[in-house]
């Protein structure tokens, strides 16, 4: 599963989805429980424009999830239509990724 994080420096999740001009992409191998950095992607953001969601979604179209500091309702609609899950969190990239992965694994093991 590919996961993108919106980060200015690759160390902290610190960008709003609609203004995410820098995204770091990771590959999570569920069988090995390993996370590997793939690459950094840049999006040309126009400072004056409010919603630039389609550009950002296009840049990470191979990802299933994007973790960002915040996202708005329009971003959620665009992302859902593209099959991308948006997750709001902030902090150190490694911690945020591990927290998300642990949550996904926990939810898979719940028996109803």
Residues of the chain with pLDDT > 90: what percent?
A: 84
Q: Is 49 helix (H, G, I), strand (E, B) or coil?
A: coil
Q: Is 1 helix (H, G, I), strand (E, B) or coil?
A: coil
Q: Which element (helix H / strand E) includes 53?
A: helix 53-59
Confidence at residue 94, expressed as pLDDT on a 0 to 100 scale = 96
Confidence at residue 48, expressed as pLDDT on a 0 to 100 scale = 78
Q: Give the CATH number of the domain where residue 38 resides.
A: 3.30.420.130
Q: Which residue has the tokens 């992302």?
A: 79
User: How many domains does one find in the chain?
Assistant: 1
CB neighbour burial string for 54-81, b if at least 16 within 10 angstroms, e if fewer = ebbbebbeebebbbbbebeeebbebbee
How many C-beta neighbours within 10 Å does residue 28 have? 18
Residues of the chain with pLDDT under 70: none
Containing structural domain, residue 15: 2-108
Overall residue count recorded for the chain in this entry: 112
The 8-class DSSP code of residue 107 comes to H
Radius of gyration of the chain (CA): 14
Confidence at residue 80, expressed as pLDDT on a 0 to 100 scale = 96
Confidence at residue 84, expressed as pLDDT on a 0 to 100 scale = 98
Confidence at residue 108, expressed as pLDDT on a 0 to 100 scale = 86
The 8-class DSSP code of residue 16 comes to B
């Amino acid at each position: 599963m590919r996961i993108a994080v919106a980060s200015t420096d690759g160390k902290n999740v610190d960008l709003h989805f609609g203004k995410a001009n820098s995204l770091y992409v990771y590959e999570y191998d569920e069988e090995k429980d390993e996370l590997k950095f793939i690459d950094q992607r840049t999006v040309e953001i126009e400072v004056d424009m409010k919603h630039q969601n389609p550009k950002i979604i296009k840049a990470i179209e191979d990802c299933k999830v994007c973790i960002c500091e915040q996202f708005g309702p329009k971003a959620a609609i665009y992302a859902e239509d593209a099959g991308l899950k948006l997750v709001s969190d902030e902090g150190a990239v490694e911690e945020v990724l591990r927290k998300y992965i642990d949550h996904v694994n926990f939810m898979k093991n719940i028996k109803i």
